[in-house]
Each structure stands twice: as structure tokens, then as C-alpha cells.
Structure 1
Amino acid sequence: MREKICKWTIYFALAISALAISACTTKPPQAPAAPAPAPQLSAAQQAHRIVSGESLVAITVRRSGPLARMGHDHVVATRQLEGFVDTAKGQTELRFRLDQLTVDEPDLRKQAGLETQPSADAIDGTRRNMFSKVLQAEAHPWVLVRAALEGGTLAADITLHGVTRRYQVPVDLREDGGALQARGAFTVKQSDFGITPFSVFGGALAVKDELELRFAISARR
């Protein structure tokens, strides 16, 4: 019993320390930056249009640090994709808004191999930290992807947080009549886009820099 009391005393002290650190580092309120306009997509002709609602981008965000057991891994995702796939030119463009990302849908957590389900409060806290403190979604609301197909690989230019980086992404592309399916998975680092992964307790509980992305794009003529 004494060990349990000591354990919870330590956790309570850590929580109080985190609040104190947060209070010390809080900056005076500033006027929010003007949001960036929606990135323009090319006017593609005779292309497959990405079907919003039937397509998916899912990102697994994992915890790290000595106190990782106190946190949760998360899955953020969106089905609200806009864009096209031009198979004749071997090109694709798509965009989506960060503020339309969902957090920890139970089915997507299972698909990512996460067996537990965070509480509603934990999910709400994750959403607030992710959108405001990490992604700064108010100032950088859009993600834009422009890619060219090179064999079985996409040379993808991804723009996030005002920064563009290129990745080589393996893709499984299948076409059946007027319908097209593109699937793949790859890893990016938040720091590639000038984003500092969220952390507390001096990094003892943190989010890993690496993000695991998977996509399933549905497009039709």
C-alpha cells in the first residue's frame, strides 16, 4: 500500500511540475497569423478524380521517452481528400485540411495494431495539442501532395507547415475500368518540416519524431 502511495505521489509531483513549466513558458497572447490560402491544384484533363469520403490518409503517432508508458499512441486520419490521378501523365495531386483530421477512430487504431482506446478527455487533449501547439493548423491549415509516378514508386513533394520535402513512396496502383485504387505506406519525420515533436517533463514523455503514414486512394473518371 505504501509503495502505491509513493508511486502516485511521484506522478502527482510530475504533473505539478509540468503545469509549473507550462506557466513559466507561456507567452503573452498574440494576434493569430493569417491562415494560408488553399493551395491550387492543376486543371487536369481526362484524369481520375479522387473520391472524397472513399479515400483515406492515416497517420500513426507513437510515444517515446522514459515515461512513455504514461502516454498513448494515436492515429489521426482524414477521408476529406481533394485532387486527381492522371495515369496518362503519371501524375497526381491532392490536398486536405489539418482541421478535418479525426483522432483515434477505434477501427483505425485496430488496423494500426493499437489494442487500447484512449478516453474522450485524452483524445480531446491530443487534438488541442496537435492542432495548436504542434501543427499550428490555424496558420498552416493545408497539406499538399504533388507526385510523379516512376515505375512502382511515387516521387512525392509534400508541403506541410509551409515546408516542402520530397519522398520516394512505394505504391500499389490498380485500375479497373473507370476506377482506380492506389495504396502505400511510408515514414516521415516531423522535424523534416520544421515541426518540434510535442513533449513534457523535459522530454521524459514525448511524441516520436517519425510518423507512420498509410494511404488508400480511390479515384474515378
Structure 2
Amino acid sequence: MQVLTPANEVPPGAHRRGGGRSAASAIAALMLGGALAGCGTAPPATTPIATTPTATTPGAGASEASSPQGPSSCTAWLAAQQRGEGRLYRVDAATSQVRIHVFRAGRLAKFGHNHVIGVERLTGQVFVPTDGIAGAGVELAFRLDDLAIDKPEWRAPLGPEFASTPSASDVAGTRANLLRAVDGERFPVIAMRSTAVAGAFPVLALKLAVNWHGQTRLLDVPVRVVRPAGDAGRSVLRTQGALVLRQSDFGITPFSILGGLLAIQDELTVDVDVAAVPAVACD
């Protein structure tokens, strides 16, 4: 997929100076337009996991769940809740926070920006067993076209490497080119589902199946889970963790131009702070 704009066109986010465009602003615009850019056609070295669903069985040891391409586990979790085996929680998007950090690279990196991308409409559910971790699980998803990009209040606390302030046109250009680069119309959703849970509350190790760009990969993700105190039927469950996504693992070639002088790093860091409230039905 071609993501670079031809030289006789001004890409979204580019700045004009007089009757033309400066080389620096053109490079900066291309950098902004290329966040998470590039669609690889060759399969990555990582082997995809099987996409055949695996049923969740509360009480059978480590938690097992189906892949992100399989049906939701929520129905099984709801049934387990009705049997008194645990509690189902629904993600509260308004009080949850997911931040994806995208980093510039290359000798001309100073002409670009690091980016902070926010997930503002996270959906999903969490199941917490009454005792132990057997049967615990989580499902999360968000749409790429719902992402927010480079809000000043997100960038400011991160220090000088995020001190620049992209303009509104820069942000619009980043959004348009990002969705085009990762084929967001064809693959509009990133979905995550635990396939196993180990550890002990409040510190757990999730085996997380992540589906992005038509590829599913397994990641090991440590999380800290704060179980509700008191009336669990009214309290909020909080889960915090972090993970690294490598674009190349999902068949995406990290953006670069000018022979790599200006590029995006392969690694994206993701900070997750999920709040969930008790649920009595599946979404």
C-alpha cells in the first residue's frame, strides 16, 4: 500500500509557506501522516495462533478463552455469575484510559513528532472468580476510527520529547493517513482476549491474544487488578498494565521515507488503565 503523497500534492497536515511548501514542513507532514503506516504484504515471522474458539470452563485451572476472532466469552461468564462462581464486569469507557505511544526515528526525526493516541471508546468485559483465578478472563476492543490523537493534555506530562504541539491540520492528516496505512476500513477493530491467566490477585500474568490488521498474536502481559472492597455489586474493578506492540508482528511495515532517514519505530508502547462496573447482561 502506498502511503506517501506524490510530490505535486500537499498531504493532509502540511503547511504552506508563501506559494510553496518548505522541505521541513513537507517532511514533518509526511511524518505525521505516517504514524503506524505501511501495510506489509509478506507474512511476518511470528506464527499466527489458531483461531478456533476454546470454551471457557470456570474452575478448571488456569483461565482459558477463545481467540479474538471467536465468539465472546461473556455468555459463559454471565452463566457462571448466575451460579455464584464469580462476578461479571463491563468496561466503563468514561473512566478507563488507554494510551498508545508512537515514536519517531531516523536521522531526520527532529522534523517529526512523537505521538500519543488515545482510546476513548473502549468496550469489553472482565470476569473475576469468587475464589482464586480459575476461570478469570478479559475481553477488550476498540475501533481505529474512534481514536483520538495528540491531545495537549496527554502530551504535556510526558516531557520534552512530546513538547511539540501538532496543529489541528496535522492531527487531521495523521488520522487520515493512519487509517489508510493500516487498512482501517477493512480492519476497523483491534480486539484483545485473554487465553490464560496465571499469578494471584492482585498481580496477574495474562496470556493475551491480540487481533490487529487481520493477524492474531499472543502476548504475555503483567497486570495489577484491584478487586472491589465491600459491596462488590456496586464497586469498580480496576486493572492496570502495559504492553508492547510491534507493527511488524501484525504484517505492518513501519513507516519510513528517504531511505530510512525519517521513520517510525516498530515498537508501540501501550499503557492500560481499565475501570469496569458490575454487569447483569452482556453488551
TM-score normalised by the chain length of structure 1: 0.79
Counterpart CA distance in 1 for 2:26 and 2:277 is 51
1:78 alignment counterpart: 119
1:1-221 aligned at under 5 Å gives the runs 12=23, 15=26, 40-42=71-73, 43=75, 44-45=77-78, 46=81, 47-88=88-129, 89-113=135-159, 114-133=162-181, 135-147=182-194, 148-151=196-199, 152-176=204-228, 177=232, 178-221=235-278
1:7 alignment counterpart: none
For 2:227, the aligned partner's letter is: E
Displacement of 1:105: 1.2
Q: SS in structure 1 opposite 2:185?
A: coil
Counterpart CA distance in 2 for 1:204 and 1:66 is 5
Say how many residue pairs are matched: 191
1:10-66 Cα shifts (integer Å, max 9, x gaps): x639959x99xxxxxxxxxxxxxxxxxx97422231311111222122100000001
**Structure 1's 48 and 164: CA in aligned 2 closer, same or farther, altered over 3 A?**
same
8 Å CA contact 1:14–1:201 kept in 2: the answer is no
Counterpart CA distance in 1 for 2:183 and 2:113 is 21
Aligned-residue identity in percent? 39
Displacement of 1:150: 1.2
Greater share of residues in strand: 1
**Structure 1's 200 and 79: CA in aligned 2 closer, same or farther, altered over 3 A?**
same
Counterpart CA distance in 2 for 1:202 and 1:166 is 32
More deviation, 198-207/64-73:
198-207
Displacement of 1:213: 0.4
8 Å CA contact 1:187–1:213 kept in 2: the answer is yes
**Structure 1's 143 and 70: CA in aligned 2 closer, same or farther, altered over 3 A?**
same
For 1:165, the aligned partner's letter is: R
Counterpart CA distance in 1 for 2:167 and 2:26 is 18
Displacement of 1:199: 1.9
2:63 alignment counterpart: none
Counterpart CA distance in 2 for 1:15 and 1:39 is 43
Displacement of 1:112: 3.6
8 Å CA contact 1:50–1:84 kept in 2: the answer is yes
Greater share of residues in helix: 1
Counterpart CA distance in 2 for 1:192 and 1:157 is 13
Q: SS in structure 2 opposite 1:213?
A: strand
Q: In angstroms, what is the RMSD of aligned CA positions?
A: 2.3
